[in-house]
Structure 1
Amino acid sequence: MIRLDNLTKVFDTPKGAVTAADHISMEVPAGEICILLGPSGCGKTTTLKMINRIVRPTSGKVFIDGEDTSALDTQELRRNLGYVIQQIGLFPNMTIEENITAVPRLLGWDKDRYKRRARELMDMIALDADAFLKRYPSELSGGQQQRIGVARALAADPPVMLMDEPFGAIDPINRAVIQDEFLKMQQELKKTIMFVSHDIDEAIKMGNRIAIFREGKLVQYSPPDDLLAAPRNAFVESFLGEDRALKRLNLVKVRELASDEIGVVRPEDTLATALERIEGFGYQNAILMINDKRQPVGIIHRSVARTTSGYCRDHFQSVPTVVSLDDDLRKVASLMFAYDMTWMPCVDDEGRVCGQITQRAITHHLGSRYRATQSSGPGDDTGTPTPSAAEE
């Protein structure tokens, strides 16, 4: 959907020519989010702004859905690209409805159509249309204004969206909420998005692909898991940080590693039965007790089962915590540390036990990927569509 072909920008300054973006070539498939990431002054924002000609390229071309945009009128190009910036940029003298419908009105939509579209988008960004559409930007919080900025960019249903640190000015709690809501929208809308960020965790959470820039050059362009497992060079490795293995926990869901083999007992089972099943699993210090609906109702510890007689229903403790199949491994690891557990029961949407996830499985998953990349050599598994574009 987006293809950059040797896109270059050279600025003339009193001290001479400065190359802000140096022959950037990359492709973003339809429906994917590409995050542009790198230190300040690396060329990521310049590259983004060349796509809608806020910055005019010195050389190179931009293709949208196969069409060379250099032949398009600038205003026509921009009206077909959604654009969201960190400063939001809402028109202060317009109502929220007028802000959202600015581009549809310029495109000549009839009144009923653009008003209907404004209400649809308010529902999509989880704001009450009746409560907010007639307000002005100054009457909204920063997080609410940011949501309106996203809605305005989506108003004319553009196939491509450009986002320049759109959530950077929002506090961490609201930023996480807006990120989650945006990803839910993206699952339905399947927009093609180029997204500038300075936050590695945000890039890993939101990007299908991540482009690492340095001094105007595209250094590596890979899916997040490939980037973290196989950084192309020392700069990328340093930029990602020493905890890059832990960052990969965000990318893996419980369902990918959960085992359906889990020892359980029922309230009417004896403690001797519980001990036998605990011993059968070897590495566990407790076993899960479930009810007739296969829901977790308690934990029987090895020490209790070994030293006490009687029935499980009389000697259980409450279940410390459970995880769902759609939770990520970062949440699992955090809970394991918090509750001093090496395994954790997994439940489905109805709260029924469907398996377990273990610390051993998580460690093996992370380690196996690193062993694979070390054997193939660094940078061999980057998913870079144009290898020459990723060389420094």
Structure 2
Amino acid sequence: MIRIDNLTKIFETPNGPVTAADHINMEVPEGEICVLLGPSGCGKTTTLKMINRIIPSTSGRIYINGEDTTGMDTVELRRNIGYVIQQIGLFPNMTIEENIAIVPKLLGWEASRYKARAKELLDLVALDPGTFLKRYPRELSGGQQQRIGVARALAADPPVMLMDEPFGAIDPINREVIQDEFMKMQQELRKTIMFVSHDIDEAVKMADRIAIFRDGRLVQYDTPDDLLAHPKDDFVESFVGDDRALKRLRLVQVKQVMEPVTTVRPEDSLSTALQRIEQQGYSHAILMVNERQQPIGYVSRSVAQTTSGLCGEHYFGLKTEASPEDDLRKVASLMFTHDTTWLPCTDANGTLVGQVTQRGITHYLGATYHPDALGTLPRQLHKVSA
């Protein structure tokens, strides 16, 4: 949907020419989010603004949906690209409805159509149309204004959106909420988005691809997982942080590392429990389920070794459990909170579907590292598990 070919920007200054973007080449597939990252002055915002000609390029080409934009009328180009900035830029003398309807009105939409679109978009960004349509920007909180900024960018249903640190000015709690709502919207709308951020955690959470810039050059362009697992050089490794292995936990769901699990029932004997523990090589315990295959507790190895009777008479309650759709960051947090190295996994009906273990997480993450970087996280987790 977006292809950038040798895009270059050179600014003339009193001290001579400065290259802000140096022969940038990249492609963003349709329906994906690409986040541009890097330190201040690295060229990421300049690259973004050249796409809708807020900054004219010195050389190179930009293609949108296969069409070279070089010869396109600038106004027409911008009307077909949604644009969201950190400062939001709502017109203070216009109502929320009027702000959202600006581009549709310029495109000649009938009043009934753009009014209906404004209501639809307020619903989409989780703001009640009956409450907010006739309000003015000054009557909204910063987070609410930011949502209106996103709604306005979506008003004419553009295929491409550009976002320049759109959540940077929002407090952390509201930022997380708005990011989550935006991702839900994106799952439905599948817009092609280029997104400038300064926050690696935000990029990992939201991006399909991440572009790392330095001194006007594109250093690495990759999926979040590949970027974190295989940084191209010392600069990228330093930029993504020493905790890059931990950041990868957000990108992996439980179902990707889930393992089969052997269980006992309340009517099974403790000797049966011990036999199964030893057969499976379980270190500490075995899970107990009821007749509906729902986990209800566990029998510890020590109890099974020293006590006689039935499992249902000598079990411990479960501390917590995981869903196959949970990400591993949540799972790791639950494990550390409850001092456990494994969790049962249940579906929406509470039925057992497997287990997730620290050892399994370790092996999954470690398998994708370079041999010489076989990671801090696997060693740490193995140590904790042992």
- TM interval, short-chain normalised: over 0.9
- Provide the rounded CA distance (Å) in 1 between the counterparts of 2:193 and 2:19: 25
- Provide the rounded CA distance (Å) in 2 between the counterparts of 1:373 and 1:333: 25
Shift of residue 246 of structure 1? Answer: 1.6
Shift of residue 309 of structure 1? Answer: 3.0
- Provide the rounded CA distance (Å) in 2 between the counterparts of 1:127 and 1:167: 17
Shift of residue 374 of structure 1? Answer: 7.0
- Provide the rounded CA distance (Å) in 1 between the counterparts of 2:89 and 2:160: 19
- Provide the rounded CA distance (Å) in 1 between the counterparts of 2:40 and 2:322: 38
Q: 1:140 to 1:10 in 2, by over 3 A?
A: same
SS in structure 2 at match of 1:70: coil
Which is worse superposed, 194-203 or 262-271? 262-271
Q: Which has the higher contact order (CA 8 A, sep 6+)?
A: 1
Shift of residue 139 of structure 1? Answer: 1.4
Shift of residue 44 of structure 1? Answer: 0.2
1:208, 1:223 within 8 Å by CA — same for their partners in 2?
yes
Which residue of structure 2 lines up, in the alignment, with residue 3 of structure 1?
3
Which residue of structure 2 lines up, in the alignment, with residue 71 of structure 1?
71
- Which letter maps to 2:104? P
Which residue of structure 2 lines up, in the alignment, with residue 198 of structure 1?
198
Which is worse superposed, 132-141 or 205-214? 132-141
Q: Cα deviation per residue 1:304-357 (whole Å; 9 max; x = unaligned)?
A: 333333333333332111111111111111211222211111111222110011
Q: Cα deviation per residue 1:187-233 (whole Å; 9 max; x = unaligned)?
A: 11111100001111111111111111000011111111111121111
- Which letter maps to 1:262? V
- Which letter maps to 2:281? G
RMSD of aligned Cα (Å): 1.6
1:50, 1:56 within 8 Å by CA — same for their partners in 2?
yes
Instruction: Give the alignment of 1:1-392 within 5 angstroms.
Output: 1-259=1-259, 261-371=260-370
- Which letter maps to 1:181? E
- Provide the rounded CA distance (Å) in 2 between the counterparts of 1:41 and 1:198: 11
- Provide the rounded CA distance (Å) in 2 between the counterparts of 1:12 and 1:67: 29
- Provide the rounded CA distance (Å) in 2 between the counterparts of 1:162 and 1:233: 28
Shift of residue 156 of structure 1? Answer: 0.5
Which is worse superposed, 242-251 or 159-168? 242-251
SS in structure 2 at match of 1:323: coil
Shift of residue 109 of structure 1? Answer: 0.8
Which is worse superposed, 343-352 or 287-296? 287-296
- Provide the rounded CA distance (Å) in 1 between the counterparts of 2:128 and 2:372: 49
Q: Cα deviation per residue 1:232-255 (whole Å; 9 max; x = unaligned)?
A: 111111111121122111111111
- Which letter maps to 1:144? Q
- Provide the rounded CA distance (Å) in 1 between the counterparts of 2:266 and 2:115: 59
Shift of residue 183 of structure 1? Answer: 1.2
SS in structure 1 at match of 2:369: helix
Identity %: 71
Q: Cα deviation per residue 1:8-65 (whole Å; 9 max; x = unaligned)?
A: 1111222221111111111111111111000111000010001011111111121111
- Provide the rounded CA distance (Å) in 2 between the counterparts of 1:137 and 1:187: 28
- Provide the rounded CA distance (Å) in 2 between the counterparts of 1:371 and 1:281: 31
- Which letter maps to 1:339? H
Aligned length: 374
- Provide the rounded CA distance (Å) in 2 between the counterparts of 1:106 and 1:37: 33
- Provide the rounded CA distance (Å) in 2 between the counterparts of 1:362 and 1:38: 29
Q: 1:283 to 1:266 in 2, by over 3 A?
A: closer
- Provide the rounded CA distance (Å) in 2 between the counterparts of 1:101 and 1:311: 69
Shift of residue 264 of structure 1? Answer: 1.8
Which residue of structure 1 lines up, in the alignment, with residue 377 of structure 2?
none
- Provide the rounded CA distance (Å) in 2 between the counterparts of 1:349 and 1:355: 13
* Structure 1 residues without counterparts, runs of 5 or longer: 376-392
TM-score (norm 1): 0.91
Which residue of structure 2 lines up, in the alignment, with residue 388 of structure 1?
none
1:7, 1:21 within 8 Å by CA — same for their partners in 2?
yes
2:165, 2:198 within 8 Å by CA — same for their partners in 1?
yes
2:230, 2:370 within 8 Å by CA — same for their partners in 1?
no
2:86, 2:166 within 8 Å by CA — same for their partners in 1?
yes
Which is worse superposed, 39-48 or 246-255? 246-255
Which residue of structure 2 lines up, in the alignment, with residue 389 of structure 1?
none
